Amino acid sequence: MEFPDAETVDATLPEVTFPTFARVSYDPETPEIDDVRAATHDAVASLPLSEVPAGGTVAVGLGSRGIHDIKPIAETVITDLSAAGYDPVVVPAMGSHGGSTAAGQRRTLAALGLTEDALGCPVDARMDAEAVGTTDRGHGVPVATAALEADGIVVVNRVKPHTNFSGRVESGVSKMLTVGLGKRAGARSFHEAALTHGYVDTIERALGVVRDNAPVIGGVAVVENVRDRTAHVEGIPAVDLPDAEAALLERATEYLPTLPFDDLDALVVEQIGKDVSGSGMDTNVIGRYGVVNAADPPTPDIDRIIALGLTDATHGNGHGIGLADVTTAEVAAELDLDQMYTNALTSGSLSRSSIPVVLPSDRHALRAAVATAGDYDPDEARIAWARDTAHLSSFRVSEALLGEVDDAVTVERYERLTFDGGDARFAPVGE
């Protein structure tokens, strides 16, 4: 597919003047764990590992999400299991991610530093899954064969608000057990049921099936703070799910990193990716779900979203690019449609893999965004600029937004937007 060249776009778009930006730090008060390994050790100790026979194999489910301390947490879980006399094996618990292939799921874990050498145990990435039962609605609940062959199952995941839905249980241990651990078959079965009956209801019904028919010991739940650092680690026995996780979700919602604005003309996101969010961009940050039968969050209200790049760790999987309004030809060239469409067709979130308007450069994308969002005045423009939607302790805002920030926001310096060819650059004001 050929997209319009610069000459064509320049003839259509008006020239615009961009506002001065302020680079700010955002530091609301939030807790943080000093010793993550010690907290993880306590979490593992709280799990009923005595249910696993001496010398038995324990499958450790690890996912594709970007968890800041996932490497020391995973290492500690595996080390503690080995020290207790068990034989750990890592099973990727990420549904259809990684292109629904064993090699892709290994690569996804490796991008997070989770390799066999680093963890000191094998990674069994087989995509086979077996139905362990059906819910009372007749939906099958598959679980990875690699996990079922173990004597016990422990999953490790971050508890956080989900990007598709809200309820008493969202992203976390329960969802990993019922969706991620089911590989592609489990993810497909879950999403088919969830689109009809609702996500939370489907998770809870499927969780009962998995808990009753697979050797689930429990999970290690991680809650991060607004700076994406570990605020809490807790071991949750299977018998306490999902209630114990619901309490952690309340804490995670309180700590959720968001932009301190309810209304923006434009949001520039430098990178999207599966390591940032399952939807490429956290929908709770951008105020768009892009899911059938799910109303968008009431805030924030953002007129235009511009996606300027993909993370390295997403390996071309740009699922979620459809939540943006504008992107660039360079980004479009990096998209791996095999992975994206596998994600979209498995989850039912087709619009998230749609291709937004593709323009020749950053400069054209930014001009298009502000020129098509209504009357434009650089002195009044409400623009935020973030590295990605998971790292919001530092970002840029147009000067018009500075009057709305609270004491948690500190201006570091003022910058002017420049372009190197068509690539966006920032320079301190005065240089």
Q: What is the pLDDT of residues 361-414, one digit of tens each?
A: 999 999 999 999 989 999 999 999 999 998 888 999 999 999 888 888 899 999
What are residue 152's DSSP bridge partners? Answer: 58
Domain match, 203 and 307 both: no
Total domains in the fold of the chain:
2
| pLDDT surpassing 80 at residue 165 | no
Residue 158: CB atoms within 10 A of its CB come to 24
Would you state the pLDDT for residue 72?
A: 97
| pLDDT surpassing 70 at residue 273 | yes
Q: CATH number for the domain including 42?
A: 3.40.50.11440
pLDDT top residue among 343 and 175: 175
Domain match, 101 and 157 both: yes
Q: Are 408 and 26 a contacting pair, CB within 8 Å?
A: yes
Domain match, 162 and 280 both: no
The three-class DSSP label of residue 394 is strand
Domain match, 147 and 264 both: no
Q: Which residue has the tokens 């778009």?
A: 13
Sheet holding 409-420, edge to edge: 357-359, 326-328, 301-307, 263-269, 383-386, 394-398, 21-26, 409-420, 423-428
Mean pLDDT, residues 187-211 taken together: 91
Q: Are 219 and 241 a contacting pair, CB within 8 Å?
A: yes
Listed in sequence order, the residues at least 6 apart from 271 whose beta carbon sits closer than 8 Å to its beta carbon are: 308, 309, 310, 311, 387, 388
pTM over 0.85: no
The answer to the question of residue 1 being in a domain is: no
**Calpha distance 130→181 (Å, rounded):** 11
Q: Give the residue numbers spanning the domain of 22.
A: 6-27+258-428
Would you state the pLDDT for residue 155?
A: 98
Domain match, 282 and 386 both: yes
Would you state the pLDDT for residue 312?
A: 93
Domain match, 415 and 357 both: yes
Specify the DSSP class assigned to residue 310. Answer: B
Domain match, 118 and 176 both: yes
Listed in sequence order, the residues at least 6 apart from 160 whose beta carbon sits closer than 8 Å to its beta carbon are: 170, 171, 172, 223, 224, 249, 252, 256
Please say which residue of 240, 255, 270 terminates a domain.
Answer: 255
Domain match, 296 and 244 both: no
Domain match, 21 and 40 both: no
Q: Which residue has the tokens 């619009």?
A: 351
Q: Are 155 and 77 a contacting pair, CB within 8 Å?
A: no
**Calpha distance 106→110 (Å, rounded):** 6
Q: Are 391 and 311 a contacting pair, CB within 8 Å?
A: no
Q: Which residue has the tokens 């009357």?
A: 375
**Calpha distance 379→401 (Å, rounded):** 10
The answer to the question of residue 197 being in a domain is: yes
Domain match, 221 and 127 both: yes
Please say which residue of 207, 233, 255 terminates a domain.
Answer: 255
**Helix/strand/coil percent split, the chain, to 5:** 35, 25, 40
| pLDDT surpassing 80 at residue 326 | yes
Domain match, 242 and 302 both: no
pLDDT tens across 108-118, in order?
Answer: 999 999 999 99
Please say which residue of 202, 233, 255 terminates a domain.
Answer: 255
Listed in sequence order, the residues at least 6 apart from 396 whose beta carbon sits closer than 8 Å to its beta carbon are: 21, 22, 23, 24, 384, 385, 386, 415, 426
The answer to the question of residue 19 being in a domain is: yes
